[in-house]
Amino acid sequence: MRNWLNGLWGNAVAKGRWHWFIVLAITAVGTGLGHWLHEAHVWPGLRYAIYRPFSWIANRGREVNPSRTIVVAITDDDYWKGELGRRSPIKRRYLAKLVRALDHADPQVIALDFQLRSPTVDGIPAVEHPDYQAETADFLAAVREVSTRRAIVLPASIGSGYVVESSIYRGYDFGKGRIFKGYIELPYEIPTIPVAIPVKSQQDKLDSFSEAIVRATKDRAISELEGVTDDRLPFGTYFNYHSFEHVLASDILDGKPAAREAVSHQIALVGGVWHQFAYNRGPLADGHSSPMGEVPGVYIHANYVEDVLNHRVYPVIWPGVGVAIEVIFVLALSLVLAAPESGWKKAGVVGATCVGLLAVAYFFFQNFGLFFDFFIPLILVAGHAGFEEIRDWKEKAAKWDSAQAKTGTQQNSRS
């Protein structure tokens, strides 16, 4: 071991100061670039593909099926062929009927994942078509009535500058109903769990949609999100898309016993899963890329709720520690790559370094409950290894050209 370390140090010294100056510069620039890629949300699909096995490891040995949330799905049959009539915004009289039908199924919470923006700034629907006004009145009356018996979570929407946009229920008196509100916009990084944020013209913070749902259940797990700021959102793990139990909204409306039994005493999260262009054609109307693949937003909200209720919320590792780990791994990799080894051995070193990064991430998660974002170091390690390999190719090519030129000069002198 000692001889190996001495040889490693000798190879590093032989590279010269200029080489290590470039290594340090690349490390600094690469770290900065990596964090810029993170903030710019570049390559989300690749990031989610890397997070997916981490979620599997995190859930291993635990109950991994969602247990409290039932998705009430409004499908293509409802939207393109049923009474919704392909209309946008969604018919509010339909939502009123669905809320009343769900009330008969006795869920613990009803949450509506739909945009309920108002066409006017002050929330008074004076410019709406008379049909919309009648629908809105019916919907709000249904919510007021049912919320006296069970909690209802209504969606809010956040505009630029953290301004709460006007909604059709703004200023409406829900009486003694248990009404909760939360913004439905998803975070840029889907694996992170959205939390309450400060908004303009409002003293209290506005809960995220999933946080409002958990708060409505009165579960103590909500305390895990207290004090968390929106600049360092915690991470969650992800269920398989198909592991969520769902019922059809049409079955609830028809009063089918199996659908009502599934929703009873559970969180009924209502959302749309229809397609944009036509019946079963085009992308999902509310589709989002996530570690579960391309899924409707209602399932992402459901995943957040299950993460919080099942205590699968992991704070992010301190930024300084994360940067230190990145630098240590990159510099250690540079020392090993300085050895005059074959390409296959160097590839093995790079692979071992990547595995080491994953092991560090798992160590922090398993022992401290902290999530180490290993995507940036992985990209940095791979990029640095590629740069070193290109440098080696150029050095070998230069030596070969020099040898060829020297051979040619000697032949000319002999002739």
Query: What digits encode the pLDDT tens for the residues 104-154?
Result: 999 999 999 998 888 766 555 555 677 788 899 999 999 999 999 999 999
Structure tokens at 219: 């579960």
What local confidence, expressed as pLDDT, does residue 175 receive? Answer: 92
What local confidence, expressed as pLDDT, does residue 37 receive? Answer: 65
Task: Please say whether the dihedral angle defined by the alpha carbons of residues 248, 187, 121 and 147, taken in this order, is positive or negative.
Answer: positive
Who has greater pLDDT, 415 or 176? 176
Reported as type and span, the H/E element at residue 183 is strand 179-183
pLDDT tens, residue by residue, 238-272:
777 778 889 999 999 999 999 999 999 999 999 99
* One domain for residues 349 and 372: yes
Confidence of residue 162 (pLDDT cuts 50, 70, 90): confident
Who has greater pLDDT, 293 or 104? 104
What local confidence, expressed as pLDDT, does residue 112 receive? Answer: 97
- Strand intervals (E) in 262-409: 267-272, 287-290, 293-296, 313-314
* One domain for residues 77 and 212: yes
Q: Range of 245's domain?
A: 69-309
Share of the chain above pLDDT 90, in %: 30
The answer to whether position 64 is within a domain reads no
* One domain for residues 96 and 198: yes
* One domain for residues 127 and 263: yes
What local confidence, expressed as pLDDT, does residue 405 receive? Answer: 67
What local confidence, expressed as pLDDT, does residue 190 receive? Answer: 79
| Pairwise CA distance, residues 137 & 5, whole Å | 77
Average pLDDT value for residue range 161-176: 87
| Secondary structure (3-state) at 32 | helix
* One domain for residues 296 and 347: no
Q: Is residue 41 a contact partner of residue 289, using CB atoms and an 8 Å limit?
A: no
* One domain for residues 277 and 337: no
H helix count then E strand count, the chain: 13, 12
Domain boundary among 290, 309, 328: 309
Q: Of the spans 47-56, 142-151, 187-196, 325-334, which averages the highest pLDDT? A: 142-151
DSSP annotation of 77 reads: I
Least confident of 59-63, 146-150, 180-184, 266-270: 59-63
| Pairwise CA distance, residues 129 & 119, whole Å | 11
Task: Please say whether the dihedral angle defined by the alpha carbons of residues 220, 224, 228 and 230, taken in this order, is positive or negative.
Answer: negative
| Secondary structure (3-state) at 67 | coil
Share of the chain above pLDDT 70, in %: 68
| Pairwise CA distance, residues 142 & 140, whole Å | 5
Residue 206 β-bridge partners: 197
Q: Is the peptide bond preceding residue 89 cis, with omega within 30 degrees of 0?
A: yes
* One domain for residues 255 and 151: yes
| Pairwise CA distance, residues 402 & 404, whole Å | 5
Q: Is residue 289 a contact partner of residue 44, using CB atoms and an 8 Å limit?
A: yes
What phi and psi, each to the nearest 5 degrees, are found at residue 118?
-95, 145
Q: Is residue 250 a contact partner of residue 270, using CB atoms and an 8 Å limit?
A: no
* One domain for residues 234 and 163: yes
Least confident of 92-96, 243-247, 321-325, 408-412: 408-412
Average pLDDT value for residue range 349-358: 73
Domain boundary among 309, 333, 359: 309
The answer to whether position 383 is within a domain reads yes
| Pairwise CA distance, residues 327 & 46, whole Å | 22
* One domain for residues 6 and 42: yes
* One domain for residues 199 and 95: yes
Half-sphere exposure of 116 (CA within 13 A, CB side): 29
Average pLDDT value for residue range 154-168: 86
Give the count of domains, the chain: 2
* One domain for residues 355 and 299: no
- Give the DSSP letter string of 266-291: SEEEEEE--BSSBTTBSSBTTEEEET
Nearest to 297 by CA among 272, 276, 274, 279: 272
User: Strand pairing of 287-290 and 151-156?
Assistant: unpaired
Cβ of 115: how many Cβ atoms within 10 Å? Answer: 14
What local confidence, expressed as pLDDT, does residue 231 receive? Answer: 66
pLDDT tens, residue by residue, 269-284:
999 999 999 999 999 9
| Pairwise CA distance, residues 143 & 284, whole Å | 27
What local confidence, expressed as pLDDT, does residue 93 receive? Answer: 93
Polymer length in residues for the chain: 415
* One domain for residues 27 and 147: no
What local confidence, expressed as pLDDT, does residue 62 receive? Answer: 52
What local confidence, expressed as pLDDT, does residue 375 receive? Answer: 67
The answer to whether position 86 is within a domain reads yes
